[in-house]
Chain A
Amino acid sequence: MNEFEPKIVAFVCNWCTYAGADLTGTSRIKYAQNVKIIRFPCTGRIDFMLLLKAFSEGADGIIVSGCHPNDCHYTSGNFHARRRWITFRGLLDLLGIDVRRIQYSWVSAAEGAKWADIVNTTVTNISELGPYADYAKVANYLEKEANL
């Protein structure tokens, strides 16, 4: 019986995914509790350092979600974000930071059901992967030293 409840942070854009998550709420679709949302004006605003910070502060998984290509409220923010994610993911992969723990998605304001699905699938995946112990060990080096 898996007692582990992953902590997942979601970085979402205001115009599409945040609104989509609102729709999930108004539709009363139930989903797993482990995901907490941080609102950004656009996925283009999401700094890759924030994802690393999330991991170092104890997140086991991350969701990054925004408007579908061509639908960005600001026209091109999500195109820039996409290029940034492709590059960042490649780098993380080389370094051995588990990219399976980061779920990227396009969720529009009309896709309430999709948001619930993304959340549930991500929670299941991260539960299977377990807590992100490797990164936690690196992040909590001071505690580790103190325990010696």
Chain B
Amino acid sequence: MKELIAKAAGLLESNTVQVVIGYGQGSADRSRAIFITQPSDCEQLIFDSRCIQNLAVYLTKAEIKKMGKPAIVASIPVLRSIVQLAAENQLTNDSLVVLGVSPESQLVEFESLAAIESYLESHKIEIDEKYRKIIEDIKAKPVAERFAYWVKELEPCFKCYACRAACPLCYCTRCTVENNQPQWISVGSHPLGNLEWHIMRAMHLAGRCTDCEACYTACPMSIPIHLLTKSMLQDVNENFGSYGSSISKPNSLSSFNPDDKESFIR
């Protein structure tokens, strides 16, 4: 941790970056994201098991961009999001400094975004067995029961869009829900509106989601929306051979293999 603080302070002092995005002490016993502009304030940086928020979400926010070049404290989920953002042309090697934190809480430095991608080769996404089982059990139900299950699960959703705000890959300045010509998604928090929103969100994350679970953590009603994204991740991996995209390879959905297999097209 001391290494991280020292490095962050050094970057600010030399004006290599103008803001450090990291975790700090929050209210009660929570941690929160902090944005440090003074080298001396770097002392506030913490890193422990409470620090699960995906900080990469701030990299695309206009308010942060205005502050200047950022350095970002990045655990594995954050690193994955950074690589995905870079693959989508939102970040370049010069636009940020990444202060990686390994699973053993050691500082890891990267000279380029491609280096992060190589590092992540040894920390690949793995869908936990527990979730695979839950998804399998849901799929085992008969169709009508499955539908009723989800309509009920999605009922508490009141369209706060916290899931959208927390997801680092939701950086569109105008979301599809904000389109009213035509009105693609019913905006009300009723069964149809909830269903359409969550289907659209999951589809827009297909081939891009990095399984950070920020959406689920952010949901005030604890709706298991991460099951949808995990199921997508599984499907994309099984059918197209990889989880997310990378800087060197295109997105699974916007590329194709002439030999893609399916059993349902006549």
Give A contacts to B, CB under 8 Å: 48-49, 52-53, 56, 69-70, 76, 79-80, 82-100, 103-106, 118, 134-135, 138-139, 141-142
Which range holds the interface residue count of chain B? Answer: 35 or more
B residues in contact with A97, CB < 8 Å: 147
B residues in contact with A96, CB < 8 Å: 141, 143-150
Is B206 within 8 A of A56, CB to CB?
Answer: no
Is B192 within 8 A of A138, CB to CB?
Answer: yes
Is A86 within 8 A of B144, CB to CB?
Answer: no
**Cα A41 to Cα B200 with chains together (Å):** 23
**Cα A83 to Cα B206 with chains together (Å):** 10
Is B260 within 8 A of A95, CB to CB?
Answer: no
Within the complex, the shortest CB–CB distance from B266 to chain A, in Å, comes to 4
Can you name 8 A-B residue pairings with CB atoms under 8 Å?
A: A53-B184, A56-B196, A76-B256, A85-B262, A86-B239, A90-B232, A91-B199, A139-B192
**Cα A84 to Cα B236 with chains together (Å):** 10
Which of A79, A80, A89, A98 interacts with B264 by CB under 8 Å? A89
Within the complex, the shortest CB–CB distance from A75 to chain B, in Å, comes to 11
**Cα A98 to Cα B185 with chains together (Å):** 20
**Cα A82 to Cα B143 with chains together (Å):** 23
Q: B257's closest neighbor in chain A, by CB?
A: A79
Within the complex, the shortest CB–CB distance from A109 to chain B, in Å, comes to 16
A residues in contact with B228, CB < 8 Å: 91, 94-95
**Cα A91 to Cα B262 with chains together (Å):** 15
Which of B191, B203, B257 interacts with A87 by CB under 8 Å? B203
Q: B194's closest neighbor in chain A, by CB?
A: A138
**Cα A118 to Cα B256 with chains together (Å):** 26
Q: Do A138 and B206 form a contact, CB below 8 Å, given A69-B258, A83-B252, A106-B266?
A: no
Q: B254's closest neighbor in chain A, by CB?
A: A80
- In the complex, whether B219 has a CB less than 8 A from a CB of chain A is no
A residues in contact with B211, CB < 8 Å: none
Give B contacts to A, CB under 8 Å: 135, 138-139, 141, 143-151, 176, 184-186, 190-192, 195-196, 199-200, 202-203, 206-207, 227-228, 231-232, 235-236, 239-240, 252-254, 256-258, 260, 262, 264-266
**Cα A134 to Cα B144 with chains together (Å):** 8
Is A48 within 8 A of B203, CB to CB?
Answer: yes
B residues in contact with A69, CB < 8 Å: 258
Q: Do A91 and B266 form a contact, CB below 8 Å, given A70-B258, A79-B256?
A: no
A residues in contact with B196, CB < 8 Å: 49, 52, 56
Q: B230's closest neighbor in chain A, by CB?
A: A94
Q: Do A91 and B231 form a contact, CB below 8 Å, given A96-B144, A106-B265?
A: yes
Q: Do A138 and B203 form a contact, CB below 8 Å, given A90-B231, A105-B266?
A: no
Is B203 within 8 A of A86, CB to CB?
Answer: no
Most buried by A among B135, B144, B185, B192: B192
Is A104 within 8 A of B266, CB to CB?
Answer: yes
Q: A82's closest neighbor in chain B, by CB?
A: B260
Is A105 within 8 A of B150, CB to CB?
Answer: no
A residues in contact with B260, CB < 8 Å: 79, 82-83, 86
Within the complex, the shortest CB–CB distance from B187 to chain A, in Å, comes to 13
Is A84 within 8 A of B147, CB to CB?
Answer: no
Which of A83, A94, A142 interacts with B231 by CB under 8 Å? A94
Most buried by B among A76, A88, A93, A95: A95
B residues in contact with A142, CB < 8 Å: 190
**Cα A98 to Cα B190 with chains together (Å):** 20
**Cα A134 to Cα B151 with chains together (Å):** 10
**Cα A13 to Cα B42 with chains together (Å):** 58
**Cα A76 to Cα B141 with chains together (Å):** 36
Most buried by A among B232, B254, B256, B265: B265
